[in-house]
Chain A
Amino acid sequence: MSAPSYTRADFQTDQEVRWCPGCGDYTILASVQQFLAGLNRNREEFVFISGIGCAARFPYYVNTYGMHSIHGRAPAIASGVATTRPDLSVWVITGDGDALSIGGNHLIHTLRRNVNLKILLFNNQIYGLTKGQYSPTSEVGKTTKSTPFGSIDYPFNPISLALGAEASFVARTLDMDRTHTQSILEAAYKHEGAAFIEIYQNCNVFNDKAFIQISGKEERLHNRIDLEVGKPIVFDGGAKAIIIRDGEATIVDSSSVDPKAILVHDPTRPNPSVAYALSRLSHGPYGPTPLGIFRDVARPTYDSALNEQLEQALEKLGEGDLKKLVASHGTWTVSPEGNGASGNGSKS
């Protein structure tokens, strides 16, 4: 069978897209559809599972198999699909409230198990669907409907969290940068196992310009740190560089250090310490912030390990025989004559 040939339109549905005009979700949807079309993989082999939130409407707009499920549980539901159907490409669409608040437990355990899922976390640092409460990634002091005197909740750093949860693939991208988004999607798709992608997504209604330091025409020149595999990490037009000093990733003037001291980016380091150090360069998009792949390492996936156990059991024990199973705890026979019983007390 020849590979299918698709355009973005093949991945659009007849459902009216109902996000607020100007929402970053539109751009991400376009990036994903464009990316899927370019894979030349049968459309029916994709499954998109989401939880609840603005981002979670996503599956309704992608013409593949999909489920809009319940708040925070998408990684669990997707795990049920992925572990039983290794032939499929399973994607999770989630947000900062969905993945990091109500669904935090599922996220960390899914990453730890390394289930073959691609998790796209749309981080807009606010609750949109419930109309503007602070989220677990909102900055301290943020004034919202539920924090009229400013938020006193210390936020998560999603990249640090994913690394701490033993994720084998961790990346960050930006809604507006479709080329960058698609390159990250490509790498995640190729990765065997759980891939975690934080996508900075602008909510122009409740948290506009949250990412202006990274996306603004002027600001991004100084603050966007592109992590490029095999290259020294420099930014601000080469004026600034990252070195590791006293165990921490540190921003220095490029001219002040030996070029050899500049950290060369390698997401395949088995030890996540350097990736973690890079994630601590910023605790939010408020100054110099890295985008790109923090970590990309090979580790056995849960689904392949489970399916291997099934194959091994089949090889060792043969195909399950129900008649043997029900007799496996020892049996005895009552003869038609009545009293006599003869037994076989062996346990298998």
Chain B
Amino acid sequence: MADEIATSETSSTRTEVLERVVVRFAGDSGDGMQLAGNRFTDASALFGNDLATLPSFPAEIRAPAGTLPGVSSFQVQIADFDILTAGDAPDCLVAMNPAALMKNFQDLRQGGTLILNTDAFDERNLAKAGYQSNPLEDDSLEGFRVIKVPMDELTKEAVKDSGVSGRNVLRSKNFFALGLLAWLFHRPTEPTIEWVEKKFAKHPEVAAANKMAFKAGYTFGVATEATKTTFEVKPAHLRPGTYTNINGNTGLAWGLITAAQKAGLPLFYGTYPITPASDILHELSRRKNFGVRTFQAEDEIAGVGTAIGAAFAGNLAVTGSSGPGIALKSEGISLAFMVELPLIVINVQRGGPSTGLPTKPEQSDLLFSLYGRHGEAPLPVIAAASPSDAFECAIEAARIALTYMTPVMLLSDNHIANGSEPWLLPDIDAIPDIEVSFAKHPNGPDGAFLPYMRDVNTFARPWAVPGTPGLEHRIGGLEKEAISGNVSYDPANHQLMTDTRAWKVANIANDIPLLEVAGEEDADLLVLGWGSTSGAIRAAARRARLEGRKVATANLRYLNPMPTNTSDVLHSYEKILIPEVNTGQLLKLIRAEHLLDAVGINKVAGEPFKVSEITEKIMEMTK
């Protein structure tokens, strides 16, 4: 078998050079669409494109084959410039069956390319997808560039000598589709072939079948000139340096490991599996040689409980979950706040309430993060804006938790968690150390240890870990007397302690960067966002500027406390637009705290904003 693939040099196809292209793979959840999308992404990353991805999968692991609920998809935008989102509408859609077509067709750009596996368009599958007539035969696909491929048959033929047999043969058809796309978009083929060889090294027949299918897909494009036009997206002019492709859950996990090393502390992660946060546990559990201890607890409450114990014992302690799990942890988080121990609480938000849309993104836990506790328990809250920002936010959450002896809420969401982007590798040595000093000596008169004697600058109480001689002390959920830490029911003391705890958190505002604004100084409109809307907001502002509108943008990473210049910045714009994937939570906060007549654009449809949706609103507001 020749390892080279025939190239298209001799063909009569034309190559169109594009600035950017959006490709979506869609098929049954067992069709390997996530894998195909990831391979296409990696090959594009290695080629040097900028990119952003948006996977979308059903909550069911294997919904009945051929049905609409079983459709899984993966969208990637590749570009020769720095893009900010995974794209609004696909330019190219791969549909492996009628259900995938039915569910995704309406998103395809007018005139876009459609690659269909015609073998799957039988009566049964058409009926399952709800088609009255076969779209391959009627005129419903008119106006699109349709490439019809009998993918089952061609895959079977291609892999017949691989050693794979029976039903497993068809498992390689995602690689056939991937090969065809590699041809259509001039993707390098070596990275995919190398990956297959490595990944399936223990199953040479599977490796052979996947390679054969991939090459057959590529060759199919060349030989049949499946379309007269192929597309090329040149490498992006990214900042020089070494890049990797990263998703948000990995970004958080690596950020935590980095923070632990920079603080000189062992990392502890107490958690309970939940979508879409589980991958943080998976990644951390592999990193035991970094001194990482993961604890898969019996429930969410024990997840935060073990983390509180680990914090008391002197670890960088973290618990992670998604909305429903955070609700269960709420009492524990209040305890951590009361006993003033450092703790990071990660909430990878998903569609709610209750089980809601567990595999879809939403930003609807902002007010819950800020206020979802009994008693007066303000917490620092910071939100990651992208997968690479997740890395930095994890380090920042650790810095705040350890410096101020407080739990910190660290927000991500399903869009960031599973979406990916190129990440310029950080200069590890340049990341500053996080200063941690355990109490070693008594701090009171006559050799007494006073666990609530505070640092004059940070208001943090001392961290005296078990095993330290002479500093034996008890903490707990009952109100503590200032300084001594003894149980106290004194009314004036409760007032003092409540105010002190709030002040300690509010004072963190002096230790975080100012809110930065991007765009025109004299803009009429500021688009303010937080979390994963950041990319779409910047992209929308960019488009509006091309139309001559004056727009500024800002991303609030620190939601509590907010940067000290927040009010000044917000008041310097005539109009403020706040896009959120919720019904207006930051909007409510900004209106309440800063007495501003800000306007929201809100959506809770199980998907991120399209850039066009925000652009439209900007255009309307800057008329």
Chain B hits for A335, CB < 8 A:
240
Q: Are A42 and B469 in contact (CB under 8 A)?
A: yes
Q: Are B245 and A80 in contact (CB under 8 A)?
A: no
- Which of A71-79, A185-193, A212-220 is the interface stretch? A71-79
Task: Answer yes or no: B556 CB below 8 A from chain A CBs.
Answer: no
A80 CB contact (under 8 Å) in B194, B305, B425: B305
Q: How far is the CA of A84 from the CA of B294 in the complex (A)?
A: 10
Q: Are A318 and B289 in contact (CB under 8 A)?
A: yes
Chain B hits for A340, CB < 8 A:
48, 235
- Which of A166-174, A198-206, A233-241, A308-316 is the interface stretch? A308-316
A334 CB contact (under 8 Å) in B240, B293, B469: B240
Size category of the B interface is 35 or more
Task: Answer yes or no: A130 CB below 8 A from chain B CBs.
Answer: no
B308 CB contact (under 8 Å) in A80, A329, A332: A80
> Contacts A15-B486, A341-B46 known; A316 to B240 CB distance under 8 Å?
no
Chain A hits for B199, CB < 8 A:
347
Task: Answer yes or no: A271 CB below 8 A from chain B CBs.
Answer: no
Q: Are A339 and B237 in contact (CB under 8 A)?
A: yes
> Contacts A47-B466, A80-B295, A329-B250 known; A69 to B266 CB distance under 8 Å?
no
- Encoded as 1 (CB less than 8 Å from any A CB) or 0, chain B from 274 to 314 comes to 00000000000001111101010111011001111111111
B232-252 at interface with A (beta carbon < 8 Å): 234-235, 237-246, 250
Q: Are A323 and B428 in contact (CB under 8 A)?
A: yes
Kindly report which residue of chain B lies nearest to residue A4, judged by CB atoms: B469
Q: How far is the CA of A105 from the CA of B470 in the complex (A)?
A: 35
Q: How far is the CA of A73 from the CA of B302 in the complex (A)?
A: 7
Q: How far is the CA of A310 from the CA of B286 in the complex (A)?
A: 10
Q: Are A83 and B428 in contact (CB under 8 A)?
A: no
Q: Are A332 and B242 in contact (CB under 8 A)?
A: yes
Which of A66, A106, A332, A335 has the most chain B CB within a 10 Å cutoff? A332
Q: How far is the CA of A333 from the CA of B238 in the complex (A)?
A: 10
For the residues of A in contact with B, the DSSP-based class is mixed
B305 CB contact (under 8 Å) in A46, A84, A106: A106
Q: Are A59 and B476 in contact (CB under 8 A)?
A: yes
Q: Are A76 and B302 in contact (CB under 8 A)?
A: yes
Q: Are A341 and B48 in contact (CB under 8 A)?
A: yes
Q: Are A339 and B332 in contact (CB under 8 A)?
A: no
B474 CB contact (under 8 Å) in A66, A76, A320: A66
Kindly report which residue of chain B lies nearest to residue A18, judged by CB atoms: B487
Chain B hits for A77, CB < 8 A:
305-306, 308-309, 312
Task: Answer yes or no: A275 CB below 8 A from chain B CBs.
Answer: no
> Contacts A45-B466, A325-B290, A347-B195 known; A60 to B476 CB distance under 8 Å?
yes
Task: Answer yes or no: B45 CB below 8 A from chain A CBs.
Answer: yes
Q: Are A13 and B474 in contact (CB under 8 A)?
A: yes
Chain A hits for B254, CB < 8 A:
325-326
Task: Answer yes or no: B339 CB below 8 A from chain A CBs.
Answer: yes
Q: Are B332 and A73 in contact (CB under 8 A)?
A: yes
Q: How far is the CA of A11 from the CA of B428 in the complex (A)?
A: 46
Task: Answer yes or no: B28 CB below 8 A from chain A CBs.
Answer: no
B433-485 at interface with A (beta carbon < 8 Å): 466-478
Q: Are A65 and B473 in contact (CB under 8 A)?
A: yes
Task: Answer yes or no: B335 CB below 8 A from chain A CBs.
Answer: yes
Kindly report which residue of chain A lies nearest to residue B295, judged by CB atoms: A83
- Encoded as 1 (CB less than 8 Å from any A CB) or 0, chain B from 596 to 608 comes to 0000000000000
Which of A49, A65, A109, A335 has the most chain B CB within a 10 Å cutoff? A65
Q: Are B266 and A84 in contact (CB under 8 A)?
A: yes
Q: How far is the CA of A201 from the CA of B311 in the complex (A)?
A: 32
Which of B242, B470, B472 has the most chain A CB within a 10 Å cutoff? B472
A343 CB contact (under 8 Å) in B191, B238, B310: B191
Q: How far is the CA of A336 from the CA of B254 in the complex (A)?
A: 27
Q: Are A339 and B467 in contact (CB under 8 A)?
A: no
Q: Are B317 and A332 in contact (CB under 8 A)?
A: no
B1-60 at interface with A (beta carbon < 8 Å): 42, 45-48
Q: Are B309 and A330 in contact (CB under 8 A)?
A: no
Q: Are B289 and A60 in contact (CB under 8 A)?
A: no
Q: Are B426 and A84 in contact (CB under 8 A)?
A: no
Task: Answer yes or no: B594 CB below 8 A from chain A CBs.
Answer: no
Q: Are B472 and A65 in contact (CB under 8 A)?
A: yes
Q: Are B472 and A334 in contact (CB under 8 A)?
A: no
Chain B hits for A44, CB < 8 A:
466-472
Chain A hits for B311, CB < 8 A:
80
B302 CB contact (under 8 Å) in A47, A105, A320, A326: A105
Additional A-B contact list (13), CB under 8 Å, known A47-B312, A80-B312, A346-B194: A44-B468, A59-B474, A69-B476, A76-B298, A79-B295, A79-B297, A80-B268, A319-B289, A325-B290, A330-B245, A334-B240, A338-B237, A339-B234
26 residue pairs of the A-B complex, CB under 8 angstroms, read: A13-B474, A44-B469, A47-B466, A67-B476, A69-B335, A73-B305, A76-B297, A77-B306, A78-B309, A79-B295, A80-B312, A81-B313, A310-B288, A319-B289, A320-B287, A326-B425, A329-B245, A330-B45, A330-B245, A332-B48, A333-B241, A334-B235, A336-B240, A341-B47, A341-B48, A343-B191
Question: A-side interface residues toward B, CB under 8 Å?
Answer: 13, 15, 42-47, 49, 52, 59-60, 63-70, 73, 76-85, 87-88, 105-106, 108-109, 306, 309-310, 312-314, 316-320, 322-323, 325-327, 329-336, 338-341, 343, 345-347
Query: What are the 5 closest A-B residue pairs judged by CB atoms, nearest first?
Result: A80-B309, A341-B48, A68-B476, A76-B305, A320-B290
